[in-house]
Every structure is written in C-alpha cells, then in structure tokens.
C-alpha cells in the first residue's frame, strides 16, 4: 500500500508548510501522497499551491491532493496530522477572552486551560472524535493520529475515551525549553541531557544534566542574579517546587492561582502579558495577504527551510524505516506515571521504530509536581466529561476547578460567566526524617547549597583563563584540577595542574597560565578534571569563527532563539561608514533601563587581529520613543543615524554610523562582530529571551567568540 499522509486543518498554512517541509526532506517519505483537507476553500487553495511548489522546489515525486471532504481525505491514510482550530480567532477566541474579562477574570493565552481553554475544548473535542471515528472507519490499518491541536491533553483524552484509535499529541515545549535553558546557562546543547515527564504544558525536567552531571545548581544560581530577568514565572515556580517546567511563563501564570489573581503589582513583578494571544492573532490576521504572498513566493519560487524540531516527521520516518528515535509525546496514562490518574493524558518520552509508538514508564513524579499536574488534570477531566456526556453541570464544575478562575471569582460569578459563554458560543453554532532544603526553595537534594561548581572562564582581561570554584559546602576544601587546552578537533595543545582552596560558602578564582591561542578563529576547548565526585565541571568552548559575507540579497546575519528564527539582517560598508539593517521578530516591544532589558540588540565590534572589543546597544523605540544606538554606558554613538518601522511580528531597524565611532579603521574592509538579541516575546504564545550570534554570552571578555564580517565589494553592495 502506498504511503498516504493526510493533514486536517491544512489552512493553518505556515505550520502546515513547516510540517510538510520536514516530511518531504526525508528521501524515504518524498514519494508519499500528501492529502490536504480544510473547511475553508480559499485557505485550502493557498495550502495546495504552497505544497505543490515545495515539492517542485525539493525535486521530489510526492503527489499533492486536496479536498474539502474529511472522510475522503482520511481514506487509506497511514498518518493523519491534525492542526485544526474550531471556531477560529473571531468570533470564538475573542469570546473566550472578552466575556471572562467582564467578570474580572484575566488571561494570557487561554488555549489550553482556564475558562478559555475549557471552552476551546468543548468546541474541539466533538470535532476531534469525529476525525477519530473516520480514521477507525476508513483509515489504513493502524493509522496513527498525530495531533497538534490545543487544548492538547483534553483533545487526546477525548479521543482515547470516545474512540481509542492509536494517537499521540505533539508539542515543541520540551525541545524549545531544553535549548532555552542551555542558552541561559551558556552550555553546549549537544552535552545537555534530560528526562521530562508530567502533562502537556506542565511537564517538568526531572533531570537536567550537563556532561552527565546535575546542572540544576546552575539554574538555581540564576535566582540570585539580579541582572537575570527572563522567564520570571517559571524560575519562581522552580524556586518553590524544585523543578523547571516545560512551557512558557505566559502559560504558567494562567495555569496556577499564584500570579494573575493577585493584582497589578504581581503582574508587573513577574512581567505577565495579559491578553497576549489576542495581540498576536490580530497581527497575523492583518498581514495575511503578505504572508500568503510570501508562502507562494515570487514567480512560482518558494523557500524551503531546514527540517524543524517538530516531532511529526520523525515519527513517520521512524515508523516507516525502523530508525529508532526517542521523542516526547502526549499519550494515555497506562501506569506510565504512577501517581497521576489512570487514563489521563500524560507527556512522557516515547520510543519510535518500526513497531510504532512505545511510551516509556517513568514511575512516580515528586509529590509536589504531581500536585501541580493534578490541579490541571481535574479541569481537563471535567471538560472531557462535559464534552462527551453533554451534561451542562460539568461545564460549571470544570471552570470551578480551574486554578486561576477559582482564585479570582466567586461561585455566583463563575455560574453567570459560564451561562453567558455557553449562550454566546451556541449562538454562533459552534462549546513526602526531613532532608535539608536549599534555602528559599522547595528542592531537597543536590542544590546549590551542597555542591562544588568549577567553571573555566576567560580572565577579566580577556587574554587568559581562570578556574572559578564555588564551594557550597559547610566546610573549607582543597580541590585538585587538571586543566587541558585542546584544539577544536581534540589535539592537546597544553596542560596545567592546579590546587585550589576555597572557604565554605565562598567562590575562588584561580588564574590558569594557559593563554588564549593565537589562532582563535580555528576554535578551541579548555576542559577540567577534578578530584571530587561531587563537583560540577563547566568547561569553556570557543567554536571556529564564522565568516559573514556582508551585503547582497541574502541576510548576512541570522540568530535563532530556542530554534525559532529571531533576527536576520545585514551589515555593509559605505565608505567610512557602516550601514546596519535588522529585522527583529519581537511582538512585545518593551522599554526598560538599558542595557539589559527590553527589546534590543547588543553589538560587539573589534578590529581584525585585536582582542579589544567595543560594546554597543541598538534599542528599539516604542510609541513616541525613538530608537537608540548607544555605547554600553548609554552614551549616544556620535554620527549614528537611525530609522525604525513596524513589520508583521516585530520591527525593522536601520542605522548608518561612522566606522570610527565603533572603534574600526575608516578604511576597514573586514572586522569582528558578535551580537546578542534581547527579546520580549517571540513566536506564537511563547516568551522572549536572549540569544547570540556566536551561541555564547562571553563577548564582553574579548573577541575570541566573534564572527568575521567581510564587507562586500562596491559593485555588489545592497542599495
């Protein structure tokens, strides 16, 4: 039987494009029949043309079909990918926000839990079960439903109870957050390992390790860093529960009773963006025509990016080829997490190979995490009960149990709000002796209070290295270290032995005589080995220098945050000046005190063959505020001329500045550069964060991490 993959809800064109691009870039899947289905003929037409052009661009033989008939689309399919949104943004999502707001109930995203998530579930579960029934009736034997639709846990639970077909719910929270945490800590992502379990959007990193060692102490140390202001809700919950959760601070703030119900001071303290989803949806809707044109491309051309970190294509590829992979999926709890209810939808690691989806047994969660999950599971269970039994009382019960709602409204208000929302949606025809703990936290093991942390870092002058030893124990200690300098390929260049003494609760910095290699552009590693088992070692890695060819039609500079494109742009020379232009994907431009907060780019410049770096800040303007290009101490850069404009999901900023003002020779045709991006909000329903061009946050130590920018010849400059 030929391979048929069906996409239900193909009108969510941008997401469908990513999924199909992932699938078609596997040679073993490139011959498949791709069937697109949507209830919107116009969007389906766009999706079909987009898919056909992608197949042509990739040079594959995939057959592209399209239909408005759901049953016909599913007939014979081995995989059905679901990306629907029942009721759409307007009117349904608007109702989910505006009616609760009348009663004093405020939300951020409202698509997974809360009163908005409940009513989205009531609208969506019946549609999902009809899809599952069609899969059972006319899909290929063993057809697998890959669900991307929210509310994830409610939809999957409803499918499991009502029909029981093979299915898995897919989200990118685990991939994105693990990458984000590595970035926050400056760790190499390929040395980070983890174990995650819980429920969708409230799964926890039970283990987060660097080079095989517990890296949680590094996360807890961020709690004491006054300059670190990212993900405030999630880090606060880590402080209290002992573990970091997978989904964004926006989501967490409305899944729990500790934040939004307690007024503007708490909302401001934890930087909670109320009504965030409405703003983002409005931005996408107003630019749909431009997005459509971009998807279809000019003159029949279309851009196909590299495979994303979404799990869907990997599941299909492993099932078809037998290549073994582990992903994180949302599946029925058949004893996988022993202290969560049987049958609820849990998020756990799953093995995928030719035998299909095989969820992995996790066991019991720490009891405080089970408590947090259960607070959401009760709401999910009652929503599924209401949707499947059609008993109205369970709608009230579901909203009663929601943590944010219960902490905000009286029972009378809950009942009145539910009645109004039911009527509004019906009118449109869519419903654990005691172990010591780390002070100030809920973590009872291996916290910062009982560990020794050794970090290899640049010396303050940028010309050598130091070993920073933090002794979290209650007694002084001596530590023997062997520090090795290696080339990027692994060749030993130099080695030194150190013995470091540190007092209890203190941090000691011991100079290392090894010097920065002269050919830093080739990359190097400085590693340490210790004499104690209870030592967390963090090594220094400087990757080979990137070369950026400035100017031309293609962006010379691209930066992603947690796998999502965040900034692209170019830098070029015009005589004694530099021209810089960046497109920044930041849908929530905030203005705070420079240089660390708000939406900004930190640009580090250095001449070639120099370790002397100049830090500058290119900060966005908002409202009547104008953009600013300043030195790190907020002094305006002489001669800089700026221009800023809004785009679909952020802003574009352009600057013309003398090279000399950036510490560069006026006739320089090449220089060294690193760039940090500070974002307030990136992507649909996700918080912002910090990322860098080099992948490191050590640019202020010197130019070893920098890329080399080669200015384009005059004839090839962008005009």
Residue 367 in tokens: 């009891």
Nearest to 185 by CA among 510, 539, 633, 672: 539
Nearest to 131 by CA among 69, 40, 65, 67: 69
**DSSP E strands, 599-640:** 600-606, 614-619, 628-631
How far is the C-alpha of 637 from the C-alpha of 658, rounded, in Å? 9
How far is the C-alpha of 46 from the C-alpha of 68, rounded, in Å? 13
Residues in Cβ contact with 208 at an 8 Å cutoff, skipping those fewer than 6 apart: 178, 181, 192, 194, 214, 215, 216, 219, 244
Q: Phi and psi for 193 in degrees, rounded to 5? A: -130, 160
Residue 442: alpha-carbon gap to chain centroid: 25
Residue 698 in tokens: 């050590």
Residues in Cβ contact with 93 at an 8 Å cutoff, skipping those fewer than 6 apart: 87, 110, 111, 116, 120, 277, 278, 281
Q: Which residues are catalytic?
A: 172
Residue 152 in tokens: 């994830």
Nearest to 202 by CA among 257, 252, 272, 151: 252
Torsion angle of the four alpha carbons 179, 182, 187, 191, in this order, in degrees rounded to the nearest 10:
-50
**DSSP E strands, 155-191:** 167-169
What is the CB-side half-sphere exposure of residue 339 using CA atoms within 13 A? 13
What is the CB-side half-sphere exposure of residue 484 using CA atoms within 13 A? 12
Residues in Cβ contact with 178 at an 8 Å cutoff, skipping those fewer than 6 apart: 189, 192, 194, 196, 205, 208
């Amino acid at each position: 039987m030929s391979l048929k993959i069906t996409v239900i809800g193909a009108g969510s064109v941008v997401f469908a494009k990513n999924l199909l691009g992932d699938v078609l870039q596997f040679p073993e899947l490139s011959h498949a029949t791709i069937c697109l289905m949507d209830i919107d003929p116009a969007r389906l037409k766009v999706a079909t043309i987009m898919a056909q052009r992608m197949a042509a661009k990739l040079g594959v033989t995939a057959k592209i079909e399209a239909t408005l008939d759901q049953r016909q689309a599913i007939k014979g399919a081995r995989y059905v990918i679901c990306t629907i949104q029942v009721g759409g943004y307007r009117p349904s999502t608007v109702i989910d926000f505006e009616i609760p707001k009348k009663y004093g109930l405020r939300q951020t995203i409202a698509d997974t839990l809360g009163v908005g998530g409940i009513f989205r579930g009531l609208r969506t579960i019946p549609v999902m079960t009809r899809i599952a029934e069609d899969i059972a009736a006319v899909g290929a034997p063993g057809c697998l439903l890959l669900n991307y639709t929210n509310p994830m846990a409610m939809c999957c639970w409803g499918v499991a109870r009502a029909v029981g077909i093979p299915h898995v719910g897919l989200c990118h929270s685990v991939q994105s957050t693990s990458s984000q945490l590595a970035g926050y800590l400056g760790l190499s992502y390929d040395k980070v390992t983890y174990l995650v379990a819980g429920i969708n959007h409230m799964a926890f990193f039970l283990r987060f390790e660097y080079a095989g060692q517990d890296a949680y102490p590094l996360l807890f140390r961020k709690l004491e860093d006054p300059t670190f202001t990212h993900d405030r809700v999630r880090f606060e919950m880590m402080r209290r529960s002992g573990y970091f959760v997978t989904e964004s601070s926006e989501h967490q703030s409305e899944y729990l009773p500790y934040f939004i119900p307690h007024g503007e001071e708490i909302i401001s303290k934890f930087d909670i963006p109320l009504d965030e989803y409405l703003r983002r949806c409005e931005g996408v809707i107003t630019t749909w025509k431009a997005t459509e044109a971009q998807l279809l491309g000019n003159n029949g051309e279309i851009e196909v990016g590299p495979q994303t970190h979404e799990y869907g294509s990997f599941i299909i590829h492993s099932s078809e080829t037998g290549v073994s992979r582990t992903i994180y999926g949302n599946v029925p709890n058949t004893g996988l997490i022993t202290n969560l209810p049987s049958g609820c939808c849990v998020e756990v690691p799953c093995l995928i190979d030719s035998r299909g989806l095989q969820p992995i047994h996790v066991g019991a969660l720490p009891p405080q995490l089970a408590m947090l999950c259960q607070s959401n599971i009760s709401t999910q269970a009652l929503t599924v009960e209401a949707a499947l039994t059609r008993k109205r009382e369970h709608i009230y019960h579901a909203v009663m149990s929601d943590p944010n709602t219960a902490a905000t409204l009286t029972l009378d208000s809950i009942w009145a709000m539910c009645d109004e929302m039911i009527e509004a949606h019906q009118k449109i025809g869519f419903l654990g002796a005691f172990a010591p703990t780390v002070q100030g936290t809920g973590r009872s093991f291996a916290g910062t209070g009982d560990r020794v942390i050794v970090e290899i870092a640049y010396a303050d002058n940028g010309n050598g290295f130091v070993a920073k030893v933090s002794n979290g124990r209650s007694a002084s200690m001596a530590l023997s270290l062997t520090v090795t300098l290696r080339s990027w390929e692994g060749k030993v260049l130099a080695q030194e032995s150190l013995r470091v003494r540190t007092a209890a609760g203190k941090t000691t910095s011991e100079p290392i005589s090894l010097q920065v290699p002269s050919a830093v552009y080739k990359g190097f590693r400085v590693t340490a080995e210790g004499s104690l088992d209870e030592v967390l070692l963090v090594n220094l890695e400087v990757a080979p220098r990137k070369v950026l060819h400035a100017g031309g039609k293609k962006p010379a500079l691209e930066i992603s945050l947690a796998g999502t494109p965040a900034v692209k742009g170019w830098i070029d020379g015009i005589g004694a000046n530099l021209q810089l232009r960046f497109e920044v994907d930041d849908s929530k431009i905030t203005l705070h005190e420079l240089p660390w907060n708000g939406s900004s780019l930190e640009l580090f410049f250095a001449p070639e063959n120099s370790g002397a770096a100049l830090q500058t800040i290119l900060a966005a303007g908002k409202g009547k505020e104008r953009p600013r290009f300043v030195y790190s101490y907020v002094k305006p850069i002489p001669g800089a001329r700026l221009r800023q404009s809004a785009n679909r999901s952020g802003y574009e900023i352009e600057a013309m500045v003398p090279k000399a003002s950036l510490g560069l020779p006026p006739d320089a045709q090449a220089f060294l550069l690193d760039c940090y991006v500070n974002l307030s909000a990136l992507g649909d329903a996700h918080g912002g964060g910090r990322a860098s061009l080099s992948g490191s946050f050590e640019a202020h130590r010197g130019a070893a991490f920098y890329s080399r920018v080669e200015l384009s010849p005059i004839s090839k400059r962008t005009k």
